[in-house]
């Protein structure tokens, strides 16, 4: 396997992925972007988009009328809401931040919003969700999320916390619930995702930046100061080294 970024190509050169102005790839690993999708706002779909589209399909969260929760409203979460809505699913955004309620309901069109630290809200929503896509990459409790699932419900992890999470087993046993995971997706499914996005006019919410702003963007990322993805304008701002 040759990774798009940070890998070694056949001739020993390093691959630079999205930091390249041009690259050569085997035709089997190229995705066609439909003409009606803007390249800048569809670029994050090739990572964040397929990361949430794949588990929505694989775990059967794509049936119209289903109740699906999305934990975390960031780069992955906001795209998950858009895809799930386009599939006809009723989406509940679950966040630790009450400030994100307006964004979730009014801008992204989620059907409901839960503050995960509000015991009254969580208690009122127990056993209401068919599935949950958890996009959070920080350490967080799983017990409240498992309580939101109906019997036979599935909690799917797509975020990658650095430290191990605590998994209480008893709630799994009592409702025959499942915890699963998913990472990106294959080429066929990635093309399917892009075509679906084009059909339903789904793009990521982005901020386009020049290449020389990259370090500042990284500092802002650490403070979660972006809605919701930075996209580097390589074509217009990457200059060849003299």
Structural domain total, the chain: 1
Domain contains 17: no
Residue 118 sits in a domain whose CATH number is: 3.40.50.720
Q: How far apart are CA 49 and CA 11, in angstroms?
A: 31
Domain contains 139: yes
Look at residue 238 in the predicted model and tell me its pLDDT: 86
Domain contains 236: no
Q: Residue 106 is part of which domain span?
A: 63-181
Domain contains 230: no
Domain contains 187: no
What are 115-133's pLDDT values in tens digits? 999 999 999 999 999 999 9
Domain contains 160: yes
Sign of the dihedral defined by the CA atoms of residues 130, 137, 6, 24, in that order: positive
Look at residue 241 in the predicted model and tell me its pLDDT: 66
Residues in the chain where the model's pLDDT stays below 70 = 241-242
103 DSSP assignment: I
Look at residue 22 in the predicted model and tell me its pLDDT: 83
What are 143-170's pLDDT values in tens digits? 999 999 999 999 999 999 999 999 999 9
Domain contains 240: no
Look at residue 242 in the predicted model and tell me its pLDDT: 54
Sign of the dihedral defined by the CA atoms of residues 124, 120, 138, 102, in that order: positive
The four Cα atoms 52, 53, 59, 60 give a dihedral, to 10 degrees, of: 140
């Amino acid at each position: 396997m040759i990774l798009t970024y940070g890998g070694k190509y056949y001739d020993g050169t390093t691959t630079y992925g999205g930091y390249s102005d041009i690259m050569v790839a085997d035709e089997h690993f190229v995705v066609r972007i439909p003409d009606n999708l803007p390249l800048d706002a569809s670029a994050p779909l090739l990572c964040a988009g397929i990361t949430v589209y794949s588990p929505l399909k694989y775990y059967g969260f794509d049936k119209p009328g289903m109740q699906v929760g999305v934990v975390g409203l960031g780069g992955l979460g906001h795209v998950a809401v858009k895809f799930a809505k386009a599939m006809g699913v009723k989406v509940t955004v679950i966040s630790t931040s009450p400030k994100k309620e307006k964004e979730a309901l009014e801008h992204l069109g989620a059907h409901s919003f839960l503050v995960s630290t509000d015991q009254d809200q969580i208690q009122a929503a127990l056993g209401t969700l068919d599935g949950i896509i958890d996009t959070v990459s920080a350490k967080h409790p799983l017990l409240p999320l498992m309580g939101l699932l109906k019997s036979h419900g599935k909690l799917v992890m797509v975020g990658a916390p650095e430290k191990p999470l605590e998994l209480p087993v008893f709630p799994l046993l009592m409702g025959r619930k499942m915890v699963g995971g998913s990472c990106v997706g294959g080429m066929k499914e990635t093309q399917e995702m892009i075509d679906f996005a084009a059909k339903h006019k789904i793009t990521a919410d982005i901020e386009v930046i020049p290449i020389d702003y990259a370090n500042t963007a990284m500092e802002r990322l650490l403070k979660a100061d972006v809605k919701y993805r930075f996209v580097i304008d390589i074509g217009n701002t990457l200059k060849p080294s003299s």
